């Protein structure tokens, strides 16, 4: 059973986008690995933006600077 764990900063993705990610990843696993969609598990974990960093600063800091 393939297991895919996607980690994203909280408040950055809508429920619809998450559903599309789950469908898209499942379809990709089926296409590439030939696995049945019913055997593919996709987990989306939302992390606190203060706990995720990129380029030396937290996602929260980057979001505050964003115009």
25-48: pLDDT as tens digits: 999 999 999 999 999 999 999 999
pLDDT the model gives residue 11: 87
Global pTM reads: 0.82
Tokens for 66, please give them: 């964003």
**Residue 10: left (phi > 0), alpha (psi -120 to 50), or beta?**
beta
The reply to whether 37 belongs to the active site is no
Backbone angles phi, psi at 45, to 5 degrees: -105, 125
8-27: pLDDT as tens digits: 999 879 999 999 999 999 99
> What domains lie within the chain, and their CATH numbers?
3-65 (3.30.429.10)
The active-site residue out of 2, 37, 49, 67 is 2
């Amino acid at each position: 059973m393939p297991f895919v764990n996607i980690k994203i900063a909280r408040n950055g993705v809508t429920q619809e986008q998450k559903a599309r990610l789950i469908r898209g990843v499942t379809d990709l696993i089926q296409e590439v690995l030939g696995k049945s969609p019913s055997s593919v598990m996709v987990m989306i974990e939302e992390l606190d933006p203060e706990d995720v960093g990129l380029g030396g600063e937290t996602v929260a800091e980057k979001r505050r600077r964003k115009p």
